[in-house]
Amino acid sequence: MIKFTVPNGHERQKARYFLAAHGKVSTNLWKKIKWQGQLFINSQPVQAASATVTGGDIISYELAAKSKIIPCDKPLDIVYEDDWLLIINKPCQQIIHPTHKTIHDTLVNIVANYYIHSGQQVGCHPVYRLDRNTTGLVIIAKQPQIQYSLTTSHDKIQRFYHAIVTGCPSPKEAMIALSIGRKPTSIIERMVRNDGQPALTHYRVIRQGRLYSHVQLKLYTGRTHQIRVHMAAIGHPLLGDDLYGGSRELIKRQALHAYRVIFKHPIENKRIDISIPLPSDMAALS
């Protein structure tokens, strides 16, 4: 059961308006609570449409977790878990969601299998995605409102990456502010374009080599292929990223690893700061 406390002194208003104003539920989630779940005020069941709350009230709700995801029995590298969140170290070649009804070995399929075997009746709601060949940390919410609360703005989560790039960027530390949009001739590839979406990436060279360098990056926006496009745009594509001009001679996939996340827990309000080491293929180049 999900619970929220109305701050003392808060004026009486409808429960739906309080939850929406405080970033607790989206419009779609409220509809599910109204039609498929049960809302409680101070542990008493109420009609969701008309329920009101005031300071000190405790709002809670139940929503049955229903999933059509077919479980897949594959290893899962869990680096953090509590009642609300699951954080996974995603391997290379692993996609997040099924892209076709015949695909049943994605990360959410594997997580669904883990939930069954650990006796958890919760959902699988990835907070963001990583490309198939990008390794590293993926945050999965166990309830839709947790996913919603972490995605209302990009700055809810600080995301850090390691990359191995061609050559050595100059200067050795800078902010890249270049808008990104679709490449007209491709449904996959992105490019820097003036009419694209604003995108902001900070990079810092932490180890310089003659042919390639190890770079640490932080995302300030979350555009598709953002790091890959930005580094290619300044003349330093990721090793292994042949889509954007990187050589596959030393590594067969884009050398990109999501190694650290920092955020405030949406329920417990504590600071979560998790880091993981480089995978072996990138460590061999670092």
Q: Average pLDDT by consecutive 10-residue portion of the chain (286 residues)? A: 86 91 82 79 87 92 71 95 96 88 85 92 90 97 87 92 97 98 94 96 95 97 97 98 96 97 94 97 93
List of residues 6+ apart from 97 with CB closer than 8 A? 106, 107, 108, 126, 129
pTM above 0.95, yes or no: no
Answer yes or no: do 164 and 78 share one domain: no
Answer yes or no: do 182 and 240 share one domain: yes
Answer yes or no: do 102 and 35 share one domain: no
Among 131, 195, 242, 273, the active-site one is 131
Q: Which domain holds residue 246?
A: 155-258
Residue 276: inside a domain: no
**Count of domains for the chain:** 3
90 within 8 A of 123, measured Cβ to Cβ: no
Answer yes or no: do 142 and 72 share one domain: yes
CA distances from 119 to 18, 112, 122, 150 (A): 33, 11, 9, 25
Residue 21: inside a domain: yes
How many whole angstroms separate alpha carbon 165 and alpha carbon 213?
5
Residue 195 annotated among the catalytic residues of the structure: no
Answer yes or no: do 172 and 251 share one domain: yes
Q: What is the CATH number of the domain that holds 98?
A: 3.30.2350.10
The token duo for 69 is 């995801």
